[in-house]
């Protein structure tokens, strides 16, 4: 795909996006619905450095039209110039590419606006809501704050989601799996029932929410407006559209 990414590319250029070309070096089918693709970085990490939950926009072909999706870098290694990208597989051009890509294949990427500011003071507890699409970012967040205990509500859509590579410390991390139902309503209900007590008990909590767009929006509004969490003690970003 050429550098002209259509109108989406023009919009990203306005935000000082920088383009790179990644090369596939291998792939691993983690579960039936989750695939890890290893890549060389085309100079990205040397140019930009690394920070927690760092992500890029990958460009896919969708019937001759450009299609972009954001993905978190997994285990970026600046010295080697490598990282992996993990795909929660479903229908669509990104998943189709991930299923069939082979070593030597290339894909274009745009880096822009991916900064991460760690909360100060550090969290007395992380309160995390996510799903397989945001799992790489969840793992990156947990890796970046190894001393913080965490409670995680993790929405699952398939039985084999229980086998996904979560970087948990059973002594510090409380994982609460929530089967997806009613378009995310089950997750919203569970978090609304359990989060307030945990939030009130912590002197310096940090709330991190990354689910489908509608669920993320509902929970973000709830945490800010009804529970009164300050903006600098929470982060919310919709990772996909149902």
Residue 99 pLDDT level (bands cut at 50, 70, 90): very high
Gap between the Cα atoms of 81 and 71, Å rounded: 17
11 versus 105: which is more confidently predicted?
105
For residues 54-62, average pLDDT: 93
Give the DSSP per-residue string, 181-229.
-GGGHHHHHHHHHHHHHHHHH-SSEEEEEESBHHHHHHHHHIIIIIS--
Structural domains in the chain, CATH included, are 6-111 (2.40.30.10), 125-236 (3.40.50.80)
Beta-carbon neighbour count of residue 171 at 10 Å? 6
Average pLDDT, the chain: 89
Strand partners, 71: 56
Cβ atoms 230, 207 nearer than 8 A: no
- Is 178 in contact with 188 (CB distance < 8 Å)? no
pLDDT value at position 112? 72
Q: Model's pTM, two decimal places?
A: 0.83
55-62 and 65-72 as β-strands: parallel, antiparallel, unpaired? antiparallel
Q: Does residue 99 contact residue 7 with C-beta atoms inside 8 Å?
A: no
- In angstroms, rounded to a whole number, what is the distance separating the alpha carbons of residues 18 and 228? 37
The predicted-structure confidence for 155-196, as pLDDT tens digits, reads as follows: 999 899 989 989 999 999 999 999 999 989 999 999 999 999
> Would you say residue 227 has pLDDT above 60?
yes
pLDDT value at residue 96: 96
**pLDDT range class, residue 12, cuts 50, 70, 90:** very low
Mean pLDDT (whole number) for 36-49 = 94
Closest CA to 56 of 115, 9, 112, 2: 112
């Amino acid at each position: 795909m050429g550098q002209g990414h259509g109108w989406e590319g023009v919009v990203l250029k306005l935000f000082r996006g920088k383009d790179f070309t990644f090369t596939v070096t291998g792939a691993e089918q983690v579960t039936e619905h989750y695939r890890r693709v290893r890549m060389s970085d085309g100079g990205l990490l040397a140019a930009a450095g690394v920070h927690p939950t760092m992500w890029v926009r990958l460009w896919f072909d969708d019937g001759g039209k450009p299609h972009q999706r954001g993905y978190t870098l997994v285990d970026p290694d600046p010295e080697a110039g490598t990282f992996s990208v993990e795909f929660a597989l479903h229908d669509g051009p990104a998943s189709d590419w991930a299923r069939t890509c082979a070593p030597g294949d290339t894909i274009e990427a745009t880096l822009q606006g991916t900064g991460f500011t760690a909360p100060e003071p550090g969290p007395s507890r992380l309160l995390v809501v996510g799903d397989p699409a945001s799992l790489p970012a969840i793992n990156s967040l947990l890796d970046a704050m190894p001393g913080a205990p965490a409670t995680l509500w993790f929405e699952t859509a398939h039985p084999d989601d229980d086998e996904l590579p979560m970087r948990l410390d059973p002594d510090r991390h409380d994982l609460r799996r929530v089967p997806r139902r009613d378009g995310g309503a089950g997750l919203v209900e569970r978090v609304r029932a359990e989060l307030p007590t945990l939030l009130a008990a912590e002197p310096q909590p940090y709330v991190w929410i990354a689910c489908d767009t509608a669920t993320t929006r509902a929970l973000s509004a709830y945490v800010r407006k009804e529970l009164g969490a300050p903006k600098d003690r929470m982060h919310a970003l919709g990772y996909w559209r149902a």
